[in-house]
Amino acid sequence: MVYEINANIDDMNSEIYSYIYEQILKMGALDVYTQSIYMKKNRPAVKLSVICEEEKLDEIVEFILKETTTLGIRYSKFSRKTLDRKMVKIKTKYGNISIKFAYYKSKILKYSPEYEECKVIAENFNIPLKVVYEDITCTVNKYLESFNKK
């Protein structure tokens, strides 16, 4: 079980959002995101949503009440189903890269290379970031195929 916390925010300097994302993730939230909403009298606003576990609920609610301009937040329990994840180092032509593998019923279902490592490679090798992703993804694809054949 997790909690989803929602707050409608309609008169806040938008520079503050990146600070709020960072702080809430540091507190241990599972996810943070925003959506554009429209309130009465043509007011464009932002709905801030946070997914967190029960033990973080009070701290995050208090943070949102203090740091944002919202006058009230609401929250509710949700069931949650996630894939198991494991970080593995895989050898690629750019060196060893961390790959996040996601499992469902102990079968690998998805994998993705770490963003920050790929970004460094793109800058060092001066190649497009999306090419780095593609190359690494295909290396992992080959690795899994040979693995499954055994």
What is the smallest separation between the CB atom of 113 and its own copies, expressed in angstroms?
10
Radius of gyration of the chain from its Cα atoms, rounded to whole angstroms: 20
Tallying the residues shown for the chain, one arrives at 150
Residues 6+ apart with CB under 8 A from 11: 69
Residue 89: beta bridge partners? Answer: 98
Q: Residue 82: name the closest of 51, 117, 48, 57 by CA.
A: 51
Using the minimum distance from each CB to its own copies, give the nearer residue, 65 or 88.
Answer: 65
What is the smallest separation between the CB atom of 123 and its own copies, expressed in angstroms?
9
Letter for the amino acid at 110?
Answer: K
Q: How far apart are CA 145 and CA 127, in angstroms?
A: 27
CB 27 within 8 A of CB 56: yes
What is the smallest separation between the CB atom of 106 and its own copies, expressed in angstroms?
14
What is the smallest separation between the CB atom of 146 and its own copies, expressed in angstroms?
13
Using the minimum distance from each CB to its own copies, give the nearer residue, 90 or 102.
Answer: 102
Residue 50 three-state SS: strand
Using the minimum distance from each CB to its own copies, give the nearer residue, 96 or 141.
Answer: 141
Using the minimum distance from each CB to its own copies, give the nearer residue, 12 or 27.
Answer: 12
